[in-house]
Structures are given as structure tokens and as C-alpha cells.
Amino acid sequence: MSDPIAAVDAAASPSPDRGGRVLDIRFTGSGSEYFRIWAVNLLLTLVTLGLYLPFAKARRIRYFYANTLVDGQALSFHGDAWKMFRGFLLLVLLMGSYSAAGHFSPVAAIVAFLILCAVWPALWRASLQFRLGNTSWRGLRMRFEGSLAGAYRACLPSYLPAIAIVVGVTLMGPEAAEPGSEGAGLTPAVMLYAVGALCMVLLAPWSLALFKRYQHNGYRIAGQHSRVQLSGGQVYLLALKLVGMSLLPLALTVAIIAVAAGAAKFMGLPRGLAAAVLTAGIVLGYVVYFAMMAPYGAARLQNLVWSGTRSEALVFHSRLSFRALFGLTLKNWVLTLLTLGLYRPFAAVATARLRLEAVGVDCDGDPLDWVAAANTGHEDATGDIAGDFFGIDMGL
């Protein structure tokens, strides 16, 4: 019996005889342009007490899509902000119900959380359908065709530990955290929480692999059906590398704190000033630690996932440099801090440019043939309706 993945790989490999070409990705946005959009979005969100968020998100997506050129052609976003607003209200209602249930009784909180878990995979799938169904390139609408059952299977490994954690915390109650209280100690609730937290950490790479596989196996455009080669073992290996990589910034953090403490003692600074110097050293070490860890994980994961994604005629590859992303992240954090947050839109544009332009696409054939096929009525729009119904968008 033939291997279906091998068959897809063979079909997806570009062939010079069939006119293979490279579809370059460029990002043309500028920080000054996006700053105006960001400032207006921020002001209207504050004035409306957060109700403008879905409209702000629609404007942001349109700007970034319009400035993302694939083979010289920009992406387009057609999402209706009012539909996104309905989805936003639905999510607020669900989260508010869960929060309110916790004030009545532990049982009500647990039941509300279970209901939230029951509907969340369907909402996630609808979010993916909405975003892809309202994204187009060369006039071709994209689609997401992941199954509902697949969404639940992808969420299962993270759901079970999360349920154990929530049940444990709810049963412990706030008084359990107080020293000397009757609820303190190794109770069944504490054990349930501890087991859930441990399982959450151990299963996190597997959960991430399932999420990414579900997403990338469901992407569609014209007659192209994406597939990703991503195993749980690859993500676990990445997690181990991330743990090993953390030793360097952790050592730097300890060194920074030690130097700050030693300098304060050597110079005989007053206790208040010495505490300020030590605090500054801790904050600096914290920034260095996360400025290294976040870019390392993001760069390696992007390269791993997108370099394993392909379709019948497309092969993606990503070569995002950790060094470049680390330098940009550190620069963005420092300038954002110095400008009291006003540099954030410039940072977003710079990061988008670096990450997008690190991705390339090898294409077997000419995408114009897809347009011709779509114009003759062969384009399939299946899967758009469910996502459009509520307009849910949870940040694909």
C-alpha cells in the first residue's frame, strides 16, 4: 500500500520540466503609515470601552494584508467588521458567564468551564473558516476545510489537564492559599491541581503539534490542499532545545543580578539605593531572558512548520534567523519602553516584514491557471458559510 504523504511530497515537488518558479513574499508596510491606524484604533477602543476592538482588528488585518505581496500580488481581507463584532460579543458573553458562575458556587464554575470547553473547538474552527474564507489572492478566496471532529481531537490533550487544574483550583478555594488554613496541605484538590499542571507541561509540545497539524492540513486555495509534515517528536525536540537554550539567558540573568548586587555593596550605597540597583538588575535580566527565549522559539517553530507545509503544486520554506529576530526583538522592546509604548506600531511592522520575507514558496506551474479555472466555475466555496455566520475571529 502506497504512503499518501510520500505521494503528496512527490506531487508537490517543483519540476523544471513543468515550469517551476519561486513566489517571493514581500512586505511593503511602513511604521509611519501604520502608526496613524494604530493611534485611531487605540483612541476609539478606549472611548468605546473596548467595543471597537473587532473594528480595530479588521482595519489592522486589512492594512497588513494589503501590504503583503505574494509574487507581486497583494492579499486582500474581505471580512465584515460587524460580523466580527457579533462574534466578539459571543465570546464576551461566554467568558463573562464563566467568570460570573465562579461567584455563585464551585460547582457552577466547573459546569460553566466544561460548557466553555465543549463549545471552544467549534468556535476555533469557525474562526479559522472566517479568516481564510475572507482572505483572497489574485481574486481567489482561500478556505479552511478542517473537520469539526478534528478540532476536538486537537484540543483534547490540552483540555484534560486544563479541566483538572480548574477543578483543583475551584475546589481548593481562595482560603486554601493562606498559610495555616485548614484547606492548606496535600489535599485531593491540591493533588489534582498538581497532576493537571504537570500533565499540561508534559503534553504542551504534543498539543502544539496537533494544533499546527489541524491548521495547516485544512488550508485551501483553488485546487490546492495543504499538508504539513510535523510530528510530535519534532516539537518535543524543539522544546528540549528551548530548555537547553534557556540555560544561557538564565546564566546571564544570574550574572546581571550578581553584578548589580556586588556593585551596590562595593560602592556602599544606602539600603534604598542598593535595593533600586538590585531591582534594576533583576528587570534587566528578566528582559534579556525573554528577549532571547521568545525569538528562539518563534523562529524555530516557524521554520519547522512552514518548511514542512506543501500542497499539490506548492512547497513552502522558511529561513527565519534567530539572530535577526533576537536583535529586532531587543530593539523593539527598548524603543517601546523609551517611547512609553508609542513605538509599538513600528515594532509590529518591522517584525511582520522580517517574519514574512523569511518565507518563500516554490510553485510547480503558473498560478494564473488557478484563476482561469476559478473563472470557469470550478472554484469550490465549501466551508465559508459556518465561519461567516458569527464572524468569529480569535487571532489565527
How high does pLDDT run on average in the chain? 83
pLDDT tens digits, one per residue of 120-143: 999 899 989 999 999 999 989 999
Q: 75: part of which helix (H) or strand (E)?
A: strand 73-77
Return the pLDDT at 26: 96
Q: Which residue ranges make up each domain of the chain?
A: 79-133+147-216
pLDDT tens digits, one per residue of 319-371: 999 999 999 999 999 999 999 999 999 999 999 999 999 999 999 888 877 76
Q: What does residue 217 show for φ and ψ, rounded to 5 degrees?
A: -80, -10
Q: Average pLDDT, stretch 85-90?
A: 87
Residue 373 confidence class, pLDDT cut points 50, 70, 90: low
pLDDT tens digits, one per residue of 101-118: 877 778 888 888 888 889
**Cα–Cα dist 341/356, whole Å:** 24
Is pLDDT above 90 for 205? yes
Is the model more confident about 195 or about 290?
Answer: 195
Is pLDDT above 90 for 18? no
Return the pLDDT at 27: 97
Q: 274: part of which helix (H) or strand (E)?
A: helix 271-306
Helices 106-133 and 148-172 pack at an angle, to 10 degrees, of 150
Is pLDDT above 80 for 194? yes
* Inter-CA distances, 151 with 90, 144, 196, 384, Å: 19, 12, 21, 16
Residue 172, SS3 per DSSP = helix
Say which range, 11-20, 51-60, 229-238, has the weakest mean pLDDT: 11-20
Return the pLDDT at 372: 56
From the CB of residue 356, how many other CB atoms can be counted at a distance below 10 Å? Answer: 19
**Cα–Cα dist 163/255, whole Å:** 39
pLDDT tens digits, one per residue of 174-190: 554 444 555 455 688 88
CB 119 within 8 A of CB 389: no
